[in-house]
């Protein structure tokens, strides 16, 4: 959802009136670090429109936001603030609050498992304990692999702790039995 104040709508309409017909607004949102999103307002030509963008219709213009980032956003508020004889656009982004277990599970699915799949294996999040230890279980080529402990401590645990500073460590509950499908 995008909320634009009356004064901001007027301001943006005035800016767009000086551009060629069909020019709209694009919110260019980037994830600069793990918590903060930055946003720039840019002009957006109708020719650029495609399925990668979510479109929001307003009376005088449209606002486009890339779909792949908008899924993490609850709402965006755009307003105008007057500062010493000049107007400044203020953009506030409210991120969706996903619970920690879902965030870590998605991180494992997309960041960790993409590396483990080269060895025919993957890891799943089983639980997060109250003491902030993540419980994992290895599957496929990782189950029974002689390098599983090293992968766990030097790879997976370091990545999880780097991206989720509240996490204290990682515990493997896999009953590692070496088999033909084990990588090493």
- 143 touches 106 (CB < 8 A): no
Beta bridge partners of 138: 123
Q: Is 145 annotated as a binding residue?
A: yes
DSSP single-letter state for residue 96:
-
CB 93 within 8 A of CB 111: no
> What is the chain's length?
184
How is 30-78 classified by DSSP, letter by letter?
EE-SSS-EEEEEEEEEGGG--TTEEEEE-SS-EEEEEHHHHTTEEEEEE
Cα–Cα distance, 10 to 71 (Å, whole number): 28
Residues of each annotated binding site for [4Fe-4S] cluster: 142, 145
């Amino acid at each position: 959802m995008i909320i634009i104040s009356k004064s901001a709508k007027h301001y943006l309409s005035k800016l767009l009136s000086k551009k060629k017909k069909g020019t709209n607004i694009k919110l260019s949102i980037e994830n600069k670090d793990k918590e903060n999103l930055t946003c720039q307002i840019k002009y957006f030509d109708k020719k650029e429109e495609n399925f990668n963008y979510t479109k929001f219709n307003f009376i005088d213009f449209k606002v486009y936001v890339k779909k792949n980032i908008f899924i993490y956003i609850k709402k965006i508020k755009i307003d105008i603030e007057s500062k010493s004889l000049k107007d400044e656009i203020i953009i506030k982004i409210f991120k969706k609050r996903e619970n920690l277990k879902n965030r870590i599970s998605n991180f494992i699915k997309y960041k960790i498992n993409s590396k483990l799949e080269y060895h025919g294996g993957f890891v799943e999040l089983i639980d997060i304990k109250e003491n902030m230890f993540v419980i994992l279980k290895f599957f496929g080529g990782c189950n029974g692999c002689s390098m599983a402990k090293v992968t766990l401590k030097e790879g997976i645990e370091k990545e999880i702790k780097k991206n989720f500073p509240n996490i204290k460590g990682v515990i493997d509950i896999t009953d590692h039995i070496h088999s033909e499908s084990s990588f090493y």
